[in-house]
Amino acid sequence: MLLPSLLAIAMSVSHAGPSAKAPALAYQQFDPLHESKDAKDARMKWFREARFGMFIHWGLYSVPAGAWQGKDYNNAGEWLQYSAQIKPRDYEPLQQQFNPVNFDAEKWVKIAKNAGMKYIVITSKHHEGFGMWPSKQSTWNIGHTQFHRDPLKELAAACKKEGLKLCFYHSIMDWHNPDYLPRKPWDDRPIQTPNIDKYVDYMKAQLKELLTNYGPIGILWFDGEWEDTWTHERGVNLYKYIRTLQPNIIVNNRVDTGRTNSGASTSENVGDYGTPEQSIPANGIPGADWETCMTMNDTWGFHATDHDWKSPELLIRNLVDIASKGGNYLLNVGPTSLGEIPPGSVDRLAQMGKWTKVNGESLYDSSPSPFPKQLHWGRVTQKPGKLYLHVFDPTQPILLAGLKTPVKRVFELANPKVTFEITPSDLGPVVNLNGTILPDNIDSVLVAEIDGAPRVETVMQMSDASGNIRLDGIDGEVHGDTLAYEPAHAALGFWTNAGDSVSWKFRLTKGGEYNLTLQVACQPDTAGGTFEVMIGSQTVTSTVPATKDWNTFVKLDLPAITIPSSGDYTLTVRASKLGAQALMNLRSVTLTRK
């Protein structure tokens, strides 16, 4: 039997002599800010294996469901109080209207489990400040409603029964507690003293309830950390406090300040992992654990008229794309005020479950793709001795670009009797589908058994016989925060960060004078941004033209350049000044020899 470590220390010390102070000493020695790599690896193990979790945004905002006084607020579910500028006293009556009689914790947990999710992160408190458990620290919580139950307790029991980790989302920003500052402009309550320090005491007392009465909690998921009353020092203090209450808990990086657009933080910041929101970073977050959180429609909290659901195809491919980059997918549902997960979410999760049941081996506890570049046909995950080839597009050649490790055998994960031949090529081994119809239109997984650890060399693209070359967005190396390849546009997009750039390494077989042509799209209101194209020591600059919309591409000719000799080159496109929303969508760069 394993002893809890504190008890083990206390016991071993008690043999050594006077023991009254021993447990306190062991407690003081625990320093969450100086954790060994092994200890962190052990603490993060379940998270790294899990790959897929359920986010639940549930609060009083499920009652108005995105509308206030007859007006519909687009994209505002849990943000309705902000969007409709509702004063706390006008928001408060929602507490007596909230009565989620159909809430069934077992049902929710089974929906998550059947989808293949391994953990649940539920809002214990969102920005509205309302506690979803009967807290003793105020009356602004579910304990003071008609609903005389504790949904978090019931979820804790159901998660324990079904083997899922229960986690809490807790907003630092609070639009109800009068001690929280800064105030929203329409909130006319008098400001009292003391305020923010008193608020932090209140928040800590609430968190202590959550970390004492609900068993082991997987993650404390902070949010609302961006207002200037929240400081790095407060973040470090809160992180230590949480880890002291539950030493094995995982805390996301929003406990501290310093989060960037991509969801990453610097090494000076505390927090155990990065939190990209509504986006998948092109290269993951190298060197860090991370989790993309995303809505299934356009809102987090239930919104009665938001029917903009993502397709099961996109949801499954997002899950696989994220896993191939070493991250987790935290996919949101927004239950109704009656306590029901909307059918649109339930249906999609059931479809994801069909996929994870058959293909789970390629997902859970897998490692990211060993290929440095995007593969045109799909994604790759791996386990020792095995590459999992996630085929999104079987019409493309299944080229394992640059793979040097011998491939022993390739077969269908769902039906290992179906095997495939492998043909070598200059660019790497190719899996021959030979007309086989693959079993899954969304993602058919093939297993490639390999002889040892995967070794992959970067494959250099070469100019053709005339000396021309087209560099496609999908093949570019993306550097920066938000820029990413968007399959829907067959182009690079989300170019919303001025510093972001893309580069291609390639071999030119002939020197000479080259015309430089880009294929670009840019919505008219955003046109006019400027960018640089650098090749060797030469730089040309240009301005982004307006096109009909983000998906209408035009050819943009840049001044010709002279490249005196053949050889290996890097071409980089970098934003210098963004347009109103972004730089542009970039499909390709072509060099045509004059």
Sites of contact with ligand H79 (CB under 6 A): 75-76, 78-79, 82-83, 223, 277, 293, 300
If the CB atoms of residues 223 and 412 are measured against ligand H79, the closer one turns out to be 223
Report d(CA 50, CA 174) in Å as an integer: 31
- For residue 286, which phi and psi values (nearest 5 degrees)? -55, 135
If the CB atoms of residues 122 and 502 are measured against ligand H79, the closer one turns out to be 122
If the CB atoms of residues 61 and 239 are measured against ligand H79, the closer one turns out to be 61
DSSP for 326-371 reads T-EEEEEE---TTS---HHHHHHHHHHHHHHHHHGGGTTT-B--S-
Whether 458 contacts 504, CB under 8 Å: no
Cα distances (angstroms) measured from residue 79 to each of 134, 141, 173, 355: 23, 18, 12, 33
Going edge to edge, which strands form the sheet with 219-223? 250-251, 219-223, 165-171, 119-125, 52-56, 328-333, 291-294
Which helix (H) or strand (E) segment is 15 a member of? Answer: helix 5-16
Report d(CA 28, CA 484) in Å as an integer: 45
CB of 83 to ligand H79, least distance (A): 5
DSSP bridge pairs for 293: 277, 330
If the CB atoms of residues 278 and 552 are measured against ligand H79, the closer one turns out to be 278
| Type of residue at 250 | I
If the CB atoms of residues 259 and 574 are measured against ligand H79, the closer one turns out to be 259
Whether 57 contacts 128, CB under 8 Å: no
If the CB atoms of residues 75 and 351 are measured against ligand H79, the closer one turns out to be 75
CB of 309 to ligand H79, least distance (A): 18
If the CB atoms of residues 331 and 456 are measured against ligand H79, the closer one turns out to be 331
Task: For CA atoms 491, 494, 498, 504, give the dihedral sign.
Answer: negative
Whether 441 contacts 354, CB under 8 Å: no
CB of 530 to ligand H79, least distance (A): 27
If the CB atoms of residues 175 and 495 are measured against ligand H79, the closer one turns out to be 175
CB of 300 to ligand H79, least distance (A): 4
CB of 275 to ligand H79, least distance (A): 8
| Buried-state track 335-351, b at ≥16 Cβ within 10 A, e below 16 | bbbebbbbebbbebbee
191: Cβ contacts below 8 Å, ≥ 6 apart: 181, 183
Residue nearest ligand H79, Cβ-based:
79
CB of 461 to ligand H79, least distance (A): 39
CB of 293 to ligand H79, least distance (A): 5
If the CB atoms of residues 334 and 353 are measured against ligand H79, the closer one turns out to be 334
CB of 311 to ligand H79, least distance (A): 22
CB of 207 to ligand H79, least distance (A): 17
- If you ran DSSP here, which 8-state letter would residue 488 be given? G
